[in-house]
């Protein structure tokens, strides 16, 4: 058996090292499509798989829907003569593949429990077409134990053995959409396999397209790495958001305090307050870890408290808006407010879990006429209706207040000052500008 295992793994390893293998990536979203592109750039025969026909059609036309992938680069890869990039919604292509990466969403249920149904659905398709000498890597963020407790039993139910007939590993996605400095290729990859040979093959696979690969002892460790990274951010943002609320009571400027503390060359890392957490990672990942911790009888107090504080920030912003209007002898009810930016971070088009959505909802419950402007989101579907972004240069009606929720670079600060009587700045976007029109959280 030892010789058989060695021969099997050596054949796959040789295929990977010589790039003579066929790779498949399930899920062509903000993780899967850039990964597909990076391997295709290296000359690997790669196929992207997704159930969304709209995405398939766009890729086939060389049109990118992901900010970090240019349409020019995508079109070149799709149309080239040698090993063109393929995409399909037909999972039967898996029977032809040597490697599979699963890059599907992992949202939360309304109860804030993990929803790994997309992972399970993808794994079921892999099981249908699984064959010997395959490397399967899960990249979707999930709780520690998913790879070995959920995916592994599914793959072994037909008699194939991990480390002998197929190879299984976990490697957490690390993507920062819109970051011009760190993208798929130069963000180090963490990998943990079920067996040592699984780890080695996964490491060899990623080294083709990723500059640095760091191995850990197990899939469970790799799963925990991603959750620690984002829980670290959530807890520290929660701390500074609480300090922000505290500073208002104490009559001090939280932005000034953070800037001064950041002059210390050791022992301090600056985090900044804001209107709340958003996006696909930081508001969600800590709940995966907390859920798993509770199953094991451990109370994740820091995670719970940070979540509570961060979740309170949209309400804090609305209360601040009410106070600002009150200081100018205006009521919140009946006022007209413009929301500047609805995405979860600057210079991206993604508004998933954005705190701006809750700010809008809370304001409207208080009788506010709310309009938004965002150069990256021309239309916004909220509360069963489609809203359209207004063009700032075309505004004719009067607004009582503008709330800057997302500090896009395209927002000209001086023009905003000239245009609006009052601006509530939740991001310190007007740093260095002194004006009675500006109120910071």
User: Which active-site residues does the annotation give?
Assistant: 281
**If you search the block for the tokens 């080239």, which residue do you land on?**
80
Contact predicate 290/298, CB 8 Å: no
Phi, psi of 151 (to 5 degrees): -75, -45
Burial class (CB in 10 A: 0-12, 13-18, 19+), 249: exposed
- Judge whether 169 and 205 are in contact, CB under 8 Å: no
CB 98, CB 129: distance < 8 Å:
no
DSSP one-letter string for 141-159: ---TTHIIIIIHHHHHTTS
Cα(248)–Cα(391) distance, integer angstroms: 33
Provide the CB-side half-sphere exposure for 357 (13 A, CA): 22
What is the SS3 assignment for 190? strand
Q: How many CB atoms lie within 10 A of CB 79?
A: 12
- In this structure, are residues 97 and 276 in contact, taking their beta carbons and an 8 Å threshold? no
Contact 283, 310 (CB under 8 A): yes
Nearest by Cα to 93 from 40, 34, 23: 23
Residue 23 and residue 45 in contact, taking contact as beta carbons nearer than 8 Å: yes
**What H or E segment, with its residue span, contains residue 138?**
strand 134-138
What is the residue whose two structure tokens read 């900044």? 272
């Amino acid at each position: 058996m030892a010789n058989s295992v060695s021969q099997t793994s050596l054949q796959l390893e040789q295929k990977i090292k010589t790039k003579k293998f066929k790779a498949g990536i399930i899920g062509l979203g903000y993780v899967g499509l850039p990964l597909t592109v990076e391997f295709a750039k290296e000359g690997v025969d790669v196929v992207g798989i997704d159930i969304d026909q709209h995405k398939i059609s766009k890729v086939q036309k060389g049109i990118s829907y992901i900010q970090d992938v240019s349409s020019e680069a995508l079109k070149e890869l799709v149309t080239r003569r040698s090993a063109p990039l393929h995409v399909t919604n037909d999972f039967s292509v898996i029977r032809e593949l040597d490697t599979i990466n699963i890059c599907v969403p992992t949202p939360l249920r309304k109860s804030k429990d993990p929803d790994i149904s997309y992972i399970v659905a993808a794994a079921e398709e892999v099981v249908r077409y699984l064959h010997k000498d395959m490397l399967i890597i899960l990249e979707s963020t999930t709780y520690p134990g998913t790879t070995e407790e959920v995916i592994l039993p599914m793959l072994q139910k037909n008699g194939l053995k991990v480390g002998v007939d197929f190879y299984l590993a976990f490697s957490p996605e690390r993507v920062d959409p819109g970051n011009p400095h760190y993208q798929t290729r130069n963000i180090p990859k963490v990998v943990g396999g079920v067996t040592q040979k699984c780890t080695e093959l996964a490491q060899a696979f990623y080294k083709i397209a990723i500059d640095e690969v760091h191995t850990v002892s197990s899939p469970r460790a790799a799963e925990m790495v991603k959750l620690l990274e984002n829980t670290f951010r959530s807890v520290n943002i929660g701390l500074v958001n609480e300090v922000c609320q505290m500073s208002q009571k104490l009559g001090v400027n939280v932005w000034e305090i953070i800037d001064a503390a950041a002059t210390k060359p050791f022992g301090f890392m600056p985090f900044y307050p804001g209107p709340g957490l958003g996006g696909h990672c930081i508001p969600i990942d800590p709940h995966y870890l907390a859920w798993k911790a509770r199953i094991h009888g451990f109370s994740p107090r820091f995670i719970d408290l940070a979540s509570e504080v961060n979740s309170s920030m949209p309400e804090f912003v609305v209360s601040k808006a009410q106070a600002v209007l009150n200081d100018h002898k205006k009521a919140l009810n009946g006022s007209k407010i413009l929301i500047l930016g609805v995405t979860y971070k600057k210079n991206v088009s993604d508004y998933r879990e954005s705190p701006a959505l809750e700010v809008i909802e809370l304001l409207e419950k208080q009788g506010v006429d709310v309009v938004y402007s965002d150069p990256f989101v021309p239309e916004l579907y909220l509360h069963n209706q489609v809203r359209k972004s207004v063009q700032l240069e075309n505004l004719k009606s009067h607004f009582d207040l503008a709330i800057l929720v997302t500090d896009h670079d395209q927002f000209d600060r001086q023009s905003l000052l000239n245009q609006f009587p009052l601006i509530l700045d939740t991001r310190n976007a007007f740093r260095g500008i002194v004006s009675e029109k500006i109120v910071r959280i």
